[in-house]
Structure 1
Amino acid sequence: MTTSDIPEPLKITEEHFLDTGTDVEAEIETEDAPPEIDRPWNPEQIRVNTKQFSLRNVLDMIEDESLELAPDFQRGRVWKPVQKSRLIESVLLQIPLPAFYFAEDTDGLMRVVDGLQRLSTIHDFVRGGEKQGFPLKGLEYLQSAVEGKRFEDLPAPWKRRIYNTQIVTNVIDPTTPADVMYDIFKRINTGGTPLNAQEIRHCMSKDRSRRILREMTFTAEFNEATNGMGGHIRMNDREMALRFAAFWLMGTEGYAKYAAMDSFLQRTTTVLDSAGEADARVDGLMSAFRKAMVNARLVFGEQAFRKWPLYSTGRNPINRALFETWSITLAAYEAADLEQRREAIVAAARQLMSRDYRYLEAITSSTGDVRRVRYRFEATARAAEAGK
């Protein structure tokens, strides 16, 4: 065997956030990829009401928990001090803020969908929160008046100006179907640092699915298998756990019904949020997930869920498609069996990632294509049988 026998490797691109690598490989959509299922929504299903609130009213809603700033969602609080201060300066200058989007559920609870960073900043400044407020710095127009001051230090007229500021809010009615709501979120998601798909799902979801995914990604087994991925700043850890849950609950045939990863994962989120629908299976899901993570670490070590072709050096970012296929596949095996066949399985997997160009495409580009999903699961299952 020579290196000339091995196809030219596909380029691996790591996702970045704030100029820092996330240790997750970017998924690529090719121009000739088949389109997702066409979904011509009935306009009557889209119900969005426009309301106006004062900032005092909004802050009170946050305090009494009738408006939720997406708990566990740290990505929305990454603005630098100067960015935060200049938003407050804009409010003090009475510059109208862009419209906000809230989603209302059947219990009347509202969640912030678009505008989370802005409201989090205003809430931190006025009501303190965990950070006990922050001093204004780097202002452009009000340096002499309020530079260096916290909210409690502002003169009463400036405080009233903040409290009385009116914001325009588009509230998505709870009768809007979940898939329609998700599409609305994607369309309005145009801020300075747009939310990714899992962050949008997190904003839409209920506490139940959030708790399940958080528990999955904070297990020692997951973090050992992924080099400490739990608590990922872009929620890629939650997306990987959700992908496992989706294929574990519904399989590849269930995926074929939706034929698009976003729809498949959104449906799974709804299932996890339904107290009656998935109750009996959650314990089994957690057990299978832990087992899969232990087995992945046992077989692949630090290369688990990463492209590891022959003659490669170093360690590539985690690949989502490899995560879902190998985790689901390995969950069906016992550790003692895998330990005996480890070398054969690794060799078979590395051959796939070196010589099978169809497999490489299936884990690299247009990974939501049903044919590619099926092929990578089938090929992975064959590799897991190596050494028998």
Structure 2
Amino acid sequence: MALQDEIELKSKEIHTENLSMSLGEIISMYEQGDLDIHPEFQRFYRWSDQQKTKLIESILLNIPIPSIFVAQRPDGIWDVVDGLQRLSTIFEFLGILKNENNELVAPLKLEKTNLLPSLENKVWSSDNGDEFTDVQQRYFKRSRLNFVIIQKESDSSSKYELFQRLNTGGSSLTPQEVRNCLLIMSEEDNFEKLKSLSEEESFLNSINISDKNLDEQYDKELTTRYLVLKGFEPDELSSISDLSTFLDDEIVKFFENDNLHWDAVTDNFRRTFNLIDDSMGSDAFKKYSIEKDSFYGGFIVSAFEMIAINIGNNLDYWEERSERIEGKIKECWQKISDENISWKGYSASGRLPKTISVGREIFGNES
């Protein structure tokens, strides 16, 4: 298909409308349940009170604010695709923001800024004289924001694609936090399922990653890799151009598969990491020194891909031979040394076929 044909085909799949709305109208939509800002996302955003204050300052000073992107659902409700933190900040300042448990969040108290130092300690309303005046409140609610609406006639994947593009690159979110949001947008239960696996004790023991990595959702990133990569042949992974985008797309497909049997997935995950933890503990995914016959250093993602995925794909076999797992892991590192296999500096498409192929050869069914 020629480029122009592709452009014309894809452009027909996305229908958008631009609309300018007053904050008063937006507030009313939120209070009536016509605007879904996904309060579950709040756990992944990290705006400081100073950043929030600067947004309120921008509204007061009529400084342009980027457009809010929403997707119109079949029931007419607007799903916020980009702009959650901006809208949440406005609602938090007004004292109407609710968290994922439908509880009111404490109202935002503003901080001093260079342009408006008198904003310090200001709130929307109070009994002690620090509130906005009636005039200031009216002006604030008459301020306008621009909305880009992805209409319901658009291709069903459009909002995921748009969210992914707008929340990567310069965003404060990690790739896995963006992925978590995509799962929540598709079905909140999907994220909860992924989260439940990532909290398995044997899994956490065996990966043994830092608190910083946990804060950045790396445990869920590894869970995602396990679920997704188990379903691919090594040569199928050689065409991956960007691993993060690949995982974004594939984990949504994984959970939306009509043939998914979650009980079986959970059973496989638990048994795999119980087996690895019982056999190796926190040494499982460390580098192995052949000369010193010891495991050393910290967690290595290539070892995780090489070992966990292939044990998981031959679980019944290795559960009956658990006493051989440590030797098989050492055998993987011996093969890497003997054949001078290296993945340092390689992209995902260069690394994954190597790591998974080595593990498949060593941890394949030997019968």
Question: Normalising to structure 2: TM-score of the pair?
Answer: 0.76
The CA distance in 2 between the partners of 1:218 and 1:73, in whole Å, is 19
CA displacement, residues 14-55 of structure 1 (integer Å, 9 cap, x when unaligned) = xxxxxxxxxxxxxxxxxxxxxxxxx86622223232223333
The count of aligned residue pairs is 340
SS at match of 1:73: helix
Deviation at 1:364, TM superposition (A): 5.9
The CA distance in 2 between the partners of 1:51 and 1:239, in whole Å, is 37
2:52 is equivalent to residue 52 of structure 1: no
Q: Report the equivalent of 2:331.
A: 348
Aligned equivalent of 1:381, options 357, 360, 364:
360
The CA distance in 2 between the partners of 1:301 and 1:77, in whole Å, is 33
2:51 is equivalent to residue 83 of structure 1: yes
| Amino acid in the other structure paired with 2:16 | V
Equivalences for 1:218-229 in 2 at 5 Å? 218-227=199-208
Aligned equivalent of 1:117, options 85, 88, 99:
85
Q: Structure 1 residues 296, 55: closer, same or farther in 2, change over 3 A?
A: farther
Q: Report the equivalent of 2:145.
A: 167
The CA distance in 2 between the partners of 1:111 and 1:229, in whole Å, is 35
Aligned equivalent of 2:111, options 113, 117, 137:
137
Contact 1:242 1:269 in 2 (8 A): no
Q: Report the equivalent of 2:128.
A: none
The CA distance in 2 between the partners of 1:157 and 1:190, in whole Å, is 39
Q: Structure 1 residues 159, 120: closer, same or farther in 2, change over 3 A?
A: same
Q: Report the equivalent of 1:273.
A: 256
Deviation at 1:190, TM superposition (A): 6.6
| Amino acid in the other structure paired with 1:316 | G
SS at match of 1:45: coil
SS at match of 1:368: helix
Contact 1:55 1:167 in 2 (8 A): yes
Q: Report the equivalent of 1:238.
A: 220
Give the unaligned 5+ runs of structure 1: 1-38
Identity of aligned residues (%): 24
SS at match of 2:349: coil
Contact 2:279 2:323 in 1 (8 A): no
Contact 1:66 1:108 in 2 (8 A): yes
Which of structures 1 and 2 has the larger relative contact order (alpha carbons within 8 angstroms, sep 6+)?
1
Contact 1:309 1:351 in 2 (8 A): no
Equivalences for 1:285-324 in 2 at 5 Å? 285-308=265-288, 315-319=297-301, 321-324=302-305
SS at match of 2:114: coil
Deviation at 1:307, TM superposition (A): 4.5
Contact 1:247 1:255 in 2 (8 A): no
Deviation at 1:201, TM superposition (A): 3.6
Deviation at 1:240, TM superposition (A): 2.5
CA displacement, residues 277-318 of structure 1 (integer Å, 9 cap, x when unaligned) = 045x11111111112222232333223445555569853345
The CA distance in 2 between the partners of 1:336 and 1:313, in whole Å, is 22
286-295 vs 259-268, which moves further: 259-268
The CA distance in 1 between the partners of 2:75 and 2:253, in whole Å, is 16
Deviation at 1:268, TM superposition (A): 3.6
281-290 vs 61-70, which moves further: 61-70
The CA distance in 2 between the partners of 1:296 and 1:217, in whole Å, is 15
Deviation at 1:77, TM superposition (A): 3.0
Contact 2:206 2:282 in 1 (8 A): yes
Question: Normalising to structure 1: TM-score of the pair?
Answer: 0.72
The CA distance in 2 between the partners of 1:180 and 1:306, in whole Å, is 40
| Amino acid in the other structure paired with 2:315 | Y
Q: Report the equivalent of 2:181.
A: 203
Equivalences for 1:68-107 in 2 at 5 Å? 68-74=36-42, 76-107=44-75
Query: Which protein shows a greater Rg?
Result: 2
Aligned equivalent of 2:133, options 155, 166, 177:
155
Contact 1:289 1:327 in 2 (8 A): no
2:333 is equivalent to residue 365 of structure 1: no
Contact 2:180 2:191 in 1 (8 A): yes
Q: Structure 1 residues 325, 122: closer, same or farther in 2, change over 3 A?
A: farther
SS at match of 2:12: helix
SS at match of 1:148: coil
Equivalences for 1:37-48 in 2 at 5 Å? 42-48=10-16
| Amino acid in the other structure paired with 1:343 | E
Q: Report the equivalent of 1:283.
A: 263
CA RMSD of aligned residues (A): 3.6
Q: Structure 1 residues 267, 235: closer, same or farther in 2, change over 3 A?
A: same
SS at match of 1:82: helix
CA displacement, residues 323-351 of structure 1 (integer Å, 9 cap, x when unaligned) = 34432222233575454114312312333
CA displacement, residues 222-250 of structure 1 (integer Å, 9 cap, x when unaligned) = 333333789944433333222222234x3
